[in-house]
Amino acid sequence: MTHSSRKEVQTVKLQISDGYKSFGAFDILEGAGLQVKGSEKIGLVGRNGAGKTTLLRIMAGEEDLDRGQVIVPKNVQVGTLSQITFSDLDRTVHEALLEVFEPLKQLERDMEALTRVLETDPSEANLEKFDRLQTEYQAKGGYEYEKELKTVFHHFGFSEEDLDRKLS
pLDDT at 84: 64
Residue 38 is given by DSSP the state T
pLDDT at 81: 67
What are the pLDDT tens digits along the chain (168 aa)?
Answer: 445 455 556 788 889 999 999 988 888 889 999 898 887 777 788 888 888 888 888 988 889 999 999 998 888 878 776 666 677 888 998 988 888 888 899 999 999 999 999 999 999 999 999 999 999 999 988 999 889 888 888 877 888 899 999 988
Rounded distance, CA 163 to CA 94, Å? 5
- Which phi and psi (to 5°) does residue 90 adopt? -85, -10
3-state helix, strand, coil in the chain (%, to 5): 40, 20, 40
**pLDDT tens across 15-42, in order?**
999 999 998 888 888 999 989 888 777 7
Answer yes or no: are the C-beta atoms of 69 and 91 closer than 8 Å: no
